[in-house]
Structure 1
Amino acid sequence: MGSPSILAVATAADLAASALNPSLDSWDQAPAASELEALVTAALAKEVYGTPADALVTTGGTESNQLALLLARELHGAVQLVCARNAHHSLRRATWLLGLPEPITVPAPAGTLDPTTLDATLTKLPGPLIVAATAGTTDAGLIDPLPAIADICQAHGARLHIDAAYGGGLLFSDRHRSSLDGLRRAHTVTLDLHKLGWQPTAAGLLAVQDPHDLRVLEHHADYLNADDDTEAGLPDLLGRSLRTTRRPDILKIAVTLKTLGRQGLGALADQVCAHAREFAHLIAAHPGFELYAPPTISTVLFRPTHWTDDAVADVRRTLLTQGSAVLGRARPDGRLWLKATLLNPHTTPGDLAALLKLVEGHTPR
């Protein structure tokens, strides 16, 4: 249940992209795909920010987070990253790749970045600073208090990046969109429509509030973006990615948006969030299981009552190797929890009950 189901229309578009096989390293190799990418990325960036902005297509959340730190470094110098201890591992790896200082980690006592501690931390640090908040943590699927974090960053003159690789899909939902209040105040935002967008990989994006920030990525190679071609009006694609050869991954996203629209994708997001709440109620009502907390998005943490961590780890591996269920694992409070991230809109109450029975039927060693 941890892997998202993939929309048939997106799969068909991805197949067409593979068959046509254009590469977005220069406009002459993919004129239609280039124009489509420009239109769709601008539309998605506006969905994030509410005003005209820009976005780059990436391979996923890891590349988007790396790009966000790269932009910060090129614009402000050797920035110091400040993030919660449970921030995505790609942020720490990005500082290593980019030669930046080791990140300063802030406690997340309730599973989210603590604003009071963040404020105190930024007060002690010299600039330039970049704070990375999260909308959809990898452990429990929680959303940091984005408005408060944005206020603190503004007060300290710190750049703000929000990793919304998981939770960003809630933008399509009228019911859940408000949980992302504060997102548009970030300088950069990571999205990954492989998750709450139901796209085949790769389907990542980095939304950028100020399109001028992307100028630092500009690069010249005469055979790809000759000056006279650019002056004649041919789009320069080399600064749209750190990659040269690129698949037209925007096609499947464009076809999905055209087919389902924002309302259709929002309905799917509402369904998986409802499934998570239903599963949480099922767990809470069962005397043999313990629920970590009500779900924020579609991640549910649970464990059999009175089991040891070794027993919890064993049942997860057993179900995985038997091919019965794919469950994640998390330690938000020092104990090991089973993690069900519900991303299939077609999940039924029977599926959820069957999953509990599979775990319940396992005899701990």
Structure 2
Amino acid sequence: MHDVVDILGDRFRTTERAASAKDRSGLQAAVDAVDLDTAGVGNAEALREVDALYADNAVWFHHPSYVAHLNCPVAVPAVAAEAMLAAINTSVDTYDQSEVATLMERRLIDWTCGHLGFAGGDGIFTSGGTQSNLQALFLAREDVLAEAAGHVEADDAESRRGGPDLGAPNRRDLLSRLRILATDQAHFSVSRAAFLLGLDAEAVVTVPTDRSGRMDAEALNASLLAIEANDQIPMAVVATAGTTDLGVIDPLETIAEVCESANVWLHVDAAYGGGLLWAPQRAHLLDGISRATSVTIDFHKTFFQPVSSSALLIRDASLFAPTIHHHDYLNPEAEAQEADAEPNQVDKSLQTTRRFDALKLWTTLRARGAGEIGSMLDTVCDLATDVRALLEDQADFEVLGASDLSTVLFRFTPETADQATCDELVPLIRRVLFRSGRAAIARTVIDGTPWLKLTLLNPDTRIDDVTAVLDLVRATGHGILAGRDLEDAATEGGAA
């Protein structure tokens, strides 16, 4: 263990690039050269080998020129907790495999529900936002199907849902009529979840956005009315608190009003923006989230936790009921009915064996405090604001929109290049910089136009660090326009 700490310490001190700058075929050859069937080489040699193969060729999220995706540098206390939980190897599916770990995880869930305003709520840690969103939509599906099939008591159904009398048609017919409403900026996991849940190919209805990319609440209301007029069933509305590209937050208060009026499940995907609950300057941006039925929060994004650390939170704990399946060897139903029944987290999880990832968050909170973590998030959001202002002052850059969080969309647009050329430059610049190892930036497409994207999640990154990346973008773009091949353009960019 001490050797690993020494290796990592040296890497963090000396790593000069965000990426390895090595050709993929060379990396593949190095991987293929390892004989996994040979006799073991011993701990020390294996660690040296892994250091040379993996650490030397990793993408380093802590590096100031890594500004690509929603990957954060991690808090040191969380790394220590990661080592501890891996060594003990707790599984938090049943109490008899975890004891205090289950109680600690449940305490963190209660703590998060408290900040969300979910009195009487519950939740579960998951592998990430994709799983959290999938489970939320699974629970929403089961809720509406139970009502439609007459499996919900009338008084409970009236309080939880409403709308027309759906009768009790067969399940397949019902599934074909279910609709999920979300904008085109919602995470792709929403569409994936619809597919995995057996919904119709047209199940995800796109709700129009305003010019900023936020959901239009009036358009949402119109979409709900159209769905019911077509004898379809609104299963859930998915609002996003921090879209992946634009970094904007849908108007949660007004969306909640529409959903409450229509008695429709409101899921808020706050995988990116959930950390704002603890951010002193920006917590107000999540006003209305307490009115959601369910919420996704990724602590491994804006709480600076190692992957994975995500949670699904539900306002009404009883809505977890469809997840419960009893097995005699694990969580017997008879024991679950006892007054002093053991708390088994498997009753709320899509997973059985599950890591004690909550320990990382627990340790970080105790070491650093939630207020400090929230201030770190404010810091990266402030940096994004400063970078956007910097780009707006540059004649050869174009900026798109204003983020609520820490993303910046921009393009290199020299006056000598037309629109089509600027479009072509976006993926080329990204590829050149990544292959050179000098910087890792992302790209995306908004309304048919390609954009470069900065995602700023390192509170130690300064404006000068980002300026250096922008200089690389500019130099690389000019190199490509001058007709140099990609390798030469990378060299020119690296020298800039």
**Fold agreement, TM-score > 0.5:** yes
State how far apart, in whole Å, the 2-side matches of 1:227 and 1:139 are.
45
State how far apart, in whole Å, the 1-side matches of 2:140 and 2:268 are.
13
**Which residue of the other structure, out of 190, 193, 199, is the alignment partner of 1:94?**
193
State how far apart, in whole Å, the 2-side matches of 1:360 and 1:308 are.
12
Corresponding residue number in structure 2 for 1:357:
471
The one-letter code matched in structure 2 to 1:321 is: R
**Which residue of the other structure, out of 39, 42, 46, is the alignment partner of 2:110?**
42
Larger Rg: 2
CA contact (8 A) 2:411 2:422 kept: no
Once the two structures are TM-superposed, the CA of residue 106 in structure 1 deviates from its matched residue by 1.7
Gap runs ≥5 in structure 2: 1-66, 146-174, 415-420, 482-496
Corresponding residue number in structure 2 for 1:247:
355
Q: Structure 1 stretch 298-307 or stretch 193-202: which is displaced more?
A: 298-307
State how far apart, in whole Å, the 2-side matches of 1:109 and 1:309 are.
24
Q: Structure 1 stretch 67-76 or stretch 279-288: which is displaced more?
A: 279-288
Counterparts in 2 of 1:128 and 1:348: CA distance versus 1, 3 Å:
closer
Corresponding residue number in structure 2 for 1:108:
209
Once the two structures are TM-superposed, the CA of residue 225 in structure 1 deviates from its matched residue by 1.2
Corresponding residue number in structure 1 for 2:241:
135
Counterparts in 2 of 1:86 and 1:294: CA distance versus 1, 3 Å:
closer
Structure 1 segment 303-314 matched on structure 2, within 5 A: 303-306=411-414, 307-314=421-428
State how far apart, in whole Å, the 1-side matches of 2:87 and 2:72 are.
24
Once the two structures are TM-superposed, the CA of residue 233 in structure 1 deviates from its matched residue by 2.6
Gap runs ≥5 in structure 1: none
Instruction: Give TM-score, length-normalised by structure 1.
Output: 0.96
Corresponding residue number in structure 2 for 1:163:
269
Secondary structure of 2:458's match?
A: coil
Query: Deviation above 4 Å: which 4+ runs of structure 1?
Result: none
Alignment deviations for residues 63-106 of structure 1 (CA, whole Å, 9 cap, x no partner)? 01100110011111144201112211100110110112321112
Corresponding residue number in structure 1 for 2:307:
201
State how far apart, in whole Å, the 2-side matches of 1:245 and 1:336 are.
42
CA contact (8 A) 2:224 2:234 kept: no
CA contact (8 A) 2:388 2:408 kept: yes
Secondary structure of 1:64's match?
A: helix
Structure 1 segment 253-264 matched on structure 2, within 5 A: 253-264=361-372
CA contact (8 A) 2:426 2:443 kept: no
State how far apart, in whole Å, the 2-side matches of 1:66 and 1:302 are.
32
Corresponding residue number in structure 2 for 1:321:
435
Once the two structures are TM-superposed, the CA of residue 228 in structure 1 deviates from its matched residue by 5.1
Q: Structure 1 stretch 282-291 or stretch 35-44: which is displaced more?
A: 282-291
CA contact (8 A) 1:46 1:54 kept: no
Once the two structures are TM-superposed, the CA of residue 50 in structure 1 deviates from its matched residue by 5.3
The one-letter code matched in structure 2 to 1:305 is: T
CA contact (8 A) 1:140 1:330 kept: no
Secondary structure of 1:125's match?
A: helix
The one-letter code matched in structure 1 to 2:195 is: W
Corresponding residue number in structure 2 for 1:347:
461
State how far apart, in whole Å, the 1-side matches of 2:342 and 2:365 are.
27
State how far apart, in whole Å, the 1-side matches of 2:196 and 2:325 are.
20
Q: Structure 1 stretch 298-307 or stretch 199-208: which is displaced more?
A: 298-307
Aligned length: 365
State how far apart, in whole Å, the 1-side matches of 2:259 and 2:235 are.
9
CA contact (8 A) 2:298 2:309 kept: yes
Once the two structures are TM-superposed, the CA of residue 283 in structure 1 deviates from its matched residue by 0.8
Secondary structure of 1:133's match?
A: strand
Structure 1 segment 1-365 matched on structure 2, within 5 A: 1-2=67-68, 3-49=71-117, 51-77=119-145, 78=175, 79-101=178-200, 102-110=203-211, 111-126=213-228, 127-227=233-333, 229-230=335-336, 231=338, 232-306=340-414, 307-362=421-476, 363-365=479-481
| Aligned CA-pair RMSD | 1.4
Once the two structures are TM-superposed, the CA of residue 305 in structure 1 deviates from its matched residue by 1.6
CA contact (8 A) 1:220 1:238 kept: no
CA contact (8 A) 1:133 1:144 kept: yes
Alignment deviations for residues 283-316 of structure 1 (CA, whole Å, 9 cap, x no partner)? 1112221111233210011111245211111001
Once the two structures are TM-superposed, the CA of residue 227 in structure 1 deviates from its matched residue by 4.0
The one-letter code matched in structure 1 to 2:209 is: A
Once the two structures are TM-superposed, the CA of residue 52 in structure 1 deviates from its matched residue by 3.9
Corresponding residue number in structure 1 for 2:12:
none
State how far apart, in whole Å, the 1-side matches of 2:225 and 2:259 are.
11
Q: Structure 1 stretch 269-278 or stretch 49-58: which is displaced more?
A: 49-58
CA contact (8 A) 1:328 1:340 kept: yes
CA contact (8 A) 2:444 2:452 kept: yes
Instruction: Give TM-score, length-normalised by structure 2.
Output: 0.71
